[in-house]
Amino acid sequence: MALLLQYTLIFASVLILVALGGCFSEHSGVINLGLEGVMIMGALGGALAMRYMPATAPAILMIIVVVLAAVLVGMLYSSLLAVACINFKADQTIVGTALNLLGTAAATVIVKAINTAANPDDVSSIIQYPVEKQAFLVNINGFEFNWFMLITLVLLIAAYVTLYKTRFGLRLMACGEHPQAASSVGINVYKMRWSGVLISGMLGGLGGIVFITAGVSEWRFEYGVAGFGFLALAVMIFGQWKPQRIALAALLFGLFRALSNVYTGFDFLAALNIPSQVYNMMPYAISLIVLAFTSKKSRAPKAEGIPYDKGQR
Protein backbone atom coordinates (compact mmCIF):
# COMPACT_ATOMS: atom_id res chain seq x y z
CA MET A 1 0.00 0.00 0.00
CA ALA A 2 2.89 2.36 0.78
CA LEU A 3 4.31 1.68 -2.68
CA LEU A 4 0.95 2.43 -4.30
CA LEU A 5 0.76 5.73 -2.41
CA GLN A 6 4.33 6.55 -3.38
CA TYR A 7 3.75 6.02 -7.10
CA THR A 8 0.37 7.76 -6.99
CA LEU A 9 1.91 10.89 -5.50
CA ILE A 10 4.83 11.00 -7.92
CA PHE A 11 2.66 10.48 -11.00
CA ALA A 12 0.12 12.97 -9.65
CA SER A 13 2.98 15.44 -9.16
CA VAL A 14 3.89 15.13 -12.83
CA LEU A 15 0.29 15.66 -13.93
CA ILE A 16 -0.26 18.59 -11.58
CA LEU A 17 2.85 20.43 -12.78
CA VAL A 18 2.17 19.93 -16.49
CA ALA A 19 -1.59 20.56 -16.20
CA LEU A 20 -0.90 23.79 -14.29
CA GLY A 21 1.43 24.79 -17.11
CA GLY A 22 -1.34 24.22 -19.64
CA CYS A 23 -3.73 26.10 -17.35
CA PHE A 24 -1.57 29.25 -17.31
CA SER A 25 -1.07 29.14 -21.06
CA GLU A 26 -4.76 28.69 -21.84
CA HIS A 27 -5.82 31.34 -19.32
CA SER A 28 -3.64 33.73 -21.31
CA GLY A 29 -5.38 32.66 -24.53
CA VAL A 30 -2.81 30.26 -26.04
CA ILE A 31 -3.45 26.51 -26.32
CA ASN A 32 -0.22 24.67 -25.60
CA LEU A 33 -0.63 21.28 -27.23
CA GLY A 34 3.16 21.01 -27.24
CA LEU A 35 3.37 20.07 -23.56
CA GLU A 36 4.57 16.59 -24.47
CA GLY A 37 7.55 18.05 -26.32
CA VAL A 38 8.17 20.61 -23.56
CA MET A 39 8.27 17.78 -21.00
CA ILE A 40 10.82 15.87 -23.06
CA MET A 41 13.10 18.88 -23.50
CA GLY A 42 12.80 19.82 -19.83
CA ALA A 43 13.63 16.22 -18.93
CA LEU A 44 16.66 16.41 -21.21
CA GLY A 45 17.90 19.60 -19.56
CA GLY A 46 17.44 18.20 -16.06
CA ALA A 47 18.96 14.81 -16.93
CA LEU A 48 22.06 16.40 -18.47
CA ALA A 49 22.49 18.61 -15.41
CA MET A 50 22.17 15.52 -13.21
CA ARG A 51 24.68 13.64 -15.36
CA TYR A 52 27.38 16.31 -15.31
CA MET A 53 26.98 17.39 -11.68
CA PRO A 54 29.61 15.75 -9.43
CA ALA A 55 28.15 12.79 -7.56
CA THR A 56 29.68 14.25 -4.39
CA ALA A 57 27.72 17.53 -4.73
CA PRO A 58 25.43 18.37 -1.79
CA ALA A 59 21.86 17.12 -2.28
CA ILE A 60 20.35 20.60 -2.05
CA LEU A 61 22.73 21.88 -4.75
CA MET A 62 21.87 18.92 -6.99
CA ILE A 63 18.15 19.61 -6.59
CA ILE A 64 18.48 23.34 -7.32
CA VAL A 65 20.68 22.87 -10.40
CA VAL A 66 18.52 20.10 -11.90
CA VAL A 67 15.29 22.03 -11.30
CA LEU A 68 16.75 25.21 -12.82
CA ALA A 69 18.06 23.32 -15.85
CA ALA A 70 14.69 21.65 -16.50
CA VAL A 71 12.83 24.92 -16.02
CA LEU A 72 15.11 26.98 -18.27
CA VAL A 73 15.14 24.44 -21.11
CA GLY A 74 11.36 24.08 -20.86
CA MET A 75 10.90 27.84 -21.05
CA LEU A 76 13.32 28.13 -23.97
CA TYR A 77 11.52 25.42 -25.91
CA SER A 78 8.06 26.86 -25.20
CA SER A 79 9.24 30.22 -26.53
CA LEU A 80 9.08 28.63 -30.01
CA LEU A 81 5.33 28.30 -29.49
CA ALA A 82 5.11 31.89 -28.28
CA VAL A 83 7.00 33.31 -31.25
CA ALA A 84 4.98 31.33 -33.79
CA CYS A 85 1.53 31.74 -32.26
CA ILE A 86 1.67 35.14 -30.55
CA ASN A 87 3.98 37.15 -32.79
CA PHE A 88 3.26 35.45 -36.11
CA LYS A 89 -0.30 34.29 -35.32
CA ALA A 90 0.31 30.73 -36.53
CA ASP A 91 -2.21 27.98 -35.93
CA GLN A 92 -1.70 26.89 -32.33
CA THR A 93 -2.76 23.28 -32.88
CA ILE A 94 -0.30 22.73 -35.72
CA VAL A 95 2.60 24.40 -33.90
CA GLY A 96 1.92 22.42 -30.73
CA THR A 97 1.86 19.15 -32.67
CA ALA A 98 5.12 20.07 -34.39
CA LEU A 99 6.76 20.78 -31.04
CA ASN A 100 5.76 17.34 -29.78
CA LEU A 101 7.33 15.63 -32.79
CA LEU A 102 10.43 17.81 -32.69
CA GLY A 103 10.95 17.34 -28.95
CA THR A 104 11.31 13.56 -29.09
CA ALA A 105 13.48 13.63 -32.22
CA ALA A 106 15.76 16.43 -31.00
CA ALA A 107 16.28 14.90 -27.55
CA THR A 108 17.11 11.49 -29.07
CA VAL A 109 19.64 12.97 -31.51
CA ILE A 110 21.28 15.14 -28.83
CA VAL A 111 21.69 12.28 -26.36
CA LYS A 112 23.02 9.92 -29.04
CA ALA A 113 25.54 12.56 -30.09
CA ILE A 114 26.68 13.05 -26.48
CA ASN A 115 27.03 9.31 -25.87
CA THR A 116 28.89 8.80 -29.16
CA ALA A 117 31.31 11.63 -28.35
CA ALA A 118 32.10 10.01 -25.00
CA ASN A 119 32.26 6.49 -26.46
CA PRO A 120 32.27 6.03 -30.26
CA ASP A 121 30.74 2.57 -29.87
CA ASP A 122 27.77 3.88 -27.85
CA VAL A 123 24.96 5.04 -30.15
CA SER A 124 22.20 4.67 -27.58
CA SER A 125 19.84 7.45 -26.47
CA ILE A 126 20.07 6.51 -22.79
CA ILE A 127 20.97 8.83 -19.96
CA GLN A 128 21.83 7.07 -16.70
CA TYR A 129 21.71 8.64 -13.25
CA PRO A 130 21.58 5.84 -10.65
CA VAL A 131 23.62 7.66 -7.98
CA GLU A 132 22.61 11.24 -8.61
CA LYS A 133 18.89 10.44 -8.36
CA GLN A 134 19.30 9.58 -4.70
CA ALA A 135 19.63 13.31 -3.95
CA PHE A 136 15.87 13.61 -4.58
CA LEU A 137 14.83 10.73 -2.34
CA VAL A 138 14.34 10.37 1.41
CA ASN A 139 13.29 7.03 2.89
CA ILE A 140 10.73 7.46 5.67
CA ASN A 141 9.74 4.15 7.30
CA GLY A 142 9.68 2.35 3.95
CA PHE A 143 8.02 5.23 2.11
CA GLU A 144 10.30 6.79 -0.50
CA PHE A 145 9.61 10.52 -0.29
CA ASN A 146 10.62 12.47 -3.36
CA TRP A 147 11.46 16.16 -2.92
CA PHE A 148 9.58 16.86 -6.13
CA MET A 149 6.37 16.08 -4.23
CA LEU A 150 7.03 19.01 -1.91
CA ILE A 151 8.02 21.27 -4.81
CA THR A 152 4.75 20.37 -6.55
CA LEU A 153 2.68 21.22 -3.47
CA VAL A 154 4.41 24.60 -3.13
CA LEU A 155 3.88 25.40 -6.81
CA LEU A 156 0.23 24.31 -6.64
CA ILE A 157 -0.43 26.79 -3.83
CA ALA A 158 1.59 29.46 -5.64
CA ALA A 159 -0.44 28.89 -8.83
CA TYR A 160 -3.75 29.32 -6.99
CA VAL A 161 -2.58 32.50 -5.26
CA THR A 162 -1.10 33.89 -8.48
CA LEU A 163 -4.22 33.30 -10.57
CA TYR A 164 -6.87 34.48 -8.13
CA LYS A 165 -5.15 36.78 -5.63
CA THR A 166 -2.71 38.86 -7.67
CA ARG A 167 -3.05 41.58 -10.27
CA PHE A 168 -0.88 39.59 -12.66
CA GLY A 169 -3.16 36.55 -12.49
CA LEU A 170 -6.35 38.53 -12.97
CA ARG A 171 -4.85 40.31 -15.96
CA LEU A 172 -3.67 37.02 -17.40
CA MET A 173 -7.16 35.53 -17.19
CA ALA A 174 -8.65 38.70 -18.68
CA CYS A 175 -6.45 38.20 -21.74
CA GLY A 176 -7.83 34.70 -22.15
CA GLU A 177 -11.45 35.81 -21.82
CA HIS A 178 -11.59 39.09 -23.76
CA PRO A 179 -8.20 40.38 -24.91
CA GLN A 180 -9.65 43.45 -26.64
CA ALA A 181 -11.33 44.57 -23.41
CA ALA A 182 -8.11 43.92 -21.50
CA SER A 183 -6.15 45.98 -24.02
CA SER A 184 -8.62 48.86 -23.71
CA VAL A 185 -7.69 49.30 -20.04
CA GLY A 186 -3.95 49.32 -20.72
CA ILE A 187 -3.02 45.63 -20.41
CA ASN A 188 -0.35 44.50 -22.86
CA VAL A 189 -1.94 41.33 -24.22
CA TYR A 190 1.18 40.20 -26.05
CA LYS A 191 3.28 40.36 -22.88
CA MET A 192 0.65 38.55 -20.83
CA ARG A 193 0.35 35.77 -23.41
CA TRP A 194 4.11 35.45 -23.57
CA SER A 195 4.13 35.18 -19.78
CA GLY A 196 1.48 32.45 -19.83
CA VAL A 197 3.37 30.38 -22.41
CA LEU A 198 6.70 30.77 -20.61
CA ILE A 199 5.12 29.71 -17.31
CA SER A 200 3.69 26.66 -19.07
CA GLY A 201 7.19 25.88 -20.35
CA MET A 202 8.62 26.26 -16.86
CA LEU A 203 6.09 23.89 -15.28
CA GLY A 204 6.07 21.48 -18.22
CA GLY A 205 9.86 21.20 -18.21
CA LEU A 206 9.85 20.55 -14.48
CA GLY A 207 7.14 17.92 -14.95
CA GLY A 208 9.38 16.21 -17.51
CA ILE A 209 12.32 15.70 -15.17
CA VAL A 210 9.95 14.51 -12.42
CA PHE A 211 8.55 11.91 -14.82
CA ILE A 212 11.85 10.40 -15.94
CA THR A 213 13.17 10.16 -12.37
CA ALA A 214 10.02 8.40 -11.12
CA GLY A 215 11.31 4.98 -10.18
CA VAL A 216 13.87 4.52 -12.98
CA SER A 217 17.67 4.86 -13.03
CA GLU A 218 17.96 5.52 -16.75
CA TRP A 219 15.83 6.86 -19.57
CA ARG A 220 15.74 6.18 -23.31
CA PHE A 221 14.54 9.38 -24.94
CA GLU A 222 12.86 7.92 -28.01
CA TYR A 223 10.27 6.54 -25.59
CA GLY A 224 9.13 10.12 -24.91
CA VAL A 225 7.00 10.62 -21.81
CA ALA A 226 4.32 8.01 -22.50
CA GLY A 227 1.62 10.49 -23.43
CA PHE A 228 1.71 12.27 -20.08
CA GLY A 229 1.59 15.65 -21.81
CA PHE A 230 -1.77 14.77 -23.36
CA LEU A 231 -2.96 13.13 -20.15
CA ALA A 232 -2.13 16.37 -18.34
CA LEU A 233 -4.33 18.26 -20.81
CA ALA A 234 -7.18 15.87 -19.94
CA VAL A 235 -6.53 16.53 -16.24
CA MET A 236 -6.63 20.27 -16.91
CA ILE A 237 -9.97 20.03 -18.73
CA PHE A 238 -11.45 17.70 -16.12
CA GLY A 239 -10.22 20.15 -13.48
CA GLN A 240 -12.00 23.01 -15.26
CA TRP A 241 -8.80 25.09 -15.48
CA LYS A 242 -8.81 25.55 -11.68
CA PRO A 243 -5.67 24.57 -9.69
CA GLN A 244 -7.53 22.93 -6.79
CA ARG A 245 -9.64 20.78 -9.11
CA ILE A 246 -6.62 19.95 -11.24
CA ALA A 247 -4.92 18.56 -8.12
CA LEU A 248 -7.86 16.26 -7.36
CA ALA A 249 -8.10 15.09 -10.97
CA ALA A 250 -4.34 14.43 -11.02
CA LEU A 251 -4.60 12.24 -7.92
CA LEU A 252 -7.33 10.18 -9.59
CA PHE A 253 -5.38 9.67 -12.79
CA GLY A 254 -2.15 9.17 -10.84
CA LEU A 255 -3.78 6.35 -8.88
CA PHE A 256 -4.77 4.47 -12.03
CA ARG A 257 -1.29 4.98 -13.51
CA ALA A 258 0.33 3.77 -10.28
CA LEU A 259 -1.66 0.53 -10.39
CA SER A 260 0.31 -0.56 -13.46
CA ASN A 261 3.50 -0.40 -11.37
CA VAL A 262 2.32 -2.21 -8.24
CA TYR A 263 -0.69 -4.40 -9.17
CA THR A 264 1.38 -7.58 -8.67
CA GLY A 265 1.71 -6.68 -5.00
CA PHE A 266 -2.04 -6.99 -4.47
CA ASP A 267 -3.22 -10.59 -4.32
CA PHE A 268 -6.78 -9.85 -5.45
CA LEU A 269 -5.49 -7.98 -8.52
CA ALA A 270 -2.80 -10.51 -9.34
CA ALA A 271 -5.40 -13.30 -9.11
CA LEU A 272 -7.39 -11.70 -11.94
CA ASN A 273 -4.50 -12.46 -14.34
CA ILE A 274 -5.12 -9.24 -16.23
CA PRO A 275 -2.22 -8.39 -18.58
CA SER A 276 -0.01 -5.52 -17.46
CA GLN A 277 -0.82 -3.66 -20.68
CA VAL A 278 -4.41 -3.26 -19.48
CA TYR A 279 -3.23 -1.47 -16.34
CA ASN A 280 -0.96 0.74 -18.46
CA MET A 281 -3.95 1.68 -20.60
CA MET A 282 -6.26 2.46 -17.68
CA PRO A 283 -5.44 6.17 -17.11
CA TYR A 284 -5.85 6.91 -20.81
CA ALA A 285 -9.09 4.95 -21.09
CA ILE A 286 -10.41 6.65 -17.95
CA SER A 287 -9.51 10.05 -19.40
CA LEU A 288 -11.60 9.33 -22.51
CA ILE A 289 -14.56 8.19 -20.42
CA VAL A 290 -14.35 11.15 -18.04
CA LEU A 291 -14.03 13.70 -20.85
CA ALA A 292 -16.93 12.12 -22.74
CA PHE A 293 -19.24 12.71 -19.78
CA THR A 294 -17.88 16.07 -18.62
CA SER A 295 -16.90 17.90 -21.81
CA LYS A 296 -20.36 19.43 -22.25
CA LYS A 297 -20.00 21.23 -18.93
CA SER A 298 -16.45 22.41 -19.60
CA ARG A 299 -15.94 26.13 -19.75
CA ALA A 300 -12.63 26.94 -21.38
CA PRO A 301 -11.32 30.53 -21.56
CA LYS A 302 -13.34 32.17 -24.33
CA ALA A 303 -10.41 33.53 -26.33
CA GLU A 304 -8.15 30.49 -26.14
CA GLY A 305 -6.76 29.47 -29.49
CA ILE A 306 -7.74 32.76 -31.12
CA PRO A 307 -4.76 34.88 -32.29
CA TYR A 308 -4.91 38.37 -30.80
CA ASP A 309 -5.42 41.16 -33.30
CA LYS A 310 -5.01 44.58 -31.71
CA GLY A 311 -7.15 46.21 -34.40
CA GLN A 312 -10.09 43.84 -33.93
CA ARG A 313 -12.99 44.80 -31.70
Q: How far apart are CA 299 and CA 309, in angstroms?
A: 23
Global confidence as pTM: 0.94
pLDDT category of residue 313 using cuts at 50, 70 and 90: low
What mean pLDDT is predicted for residues 272-280?
75
Q: In this model, does residue 131 exceed pLDDT 60?
A: no
Phi/psi region, residue 253 (left: phi>0; alpha: psi -120 to 50; beta: rest), is alpha
Q: What is the pLDDT of residue 127?
A: 79
Sign of the torsion angle spanned by Cα atoms 89, 92, 93, 96: positive
What mean pLDDT is predicted for residues 21-26?
98
Neighbour count for residue 63 (Cβ, 10 Å)? 17
What mean pLDDT is predicted for residues 62-72?
94
The pairing of beta strand 137-140 with beta strand 143-146: antiparallel
Q: In this model, does residue 130 exceed pLDDT 60?
A: no
Q: In this model, does residue 1 exceed pLDDT 60?
A: yes
Residue type, 214: A
Q: What is the pLDDT of residue 129?
A: 63
Domains of the chain: 2-137+153-297 (1.10.3470)
- Tally DSSP H helices, then E strands, for the chain: 12, 4
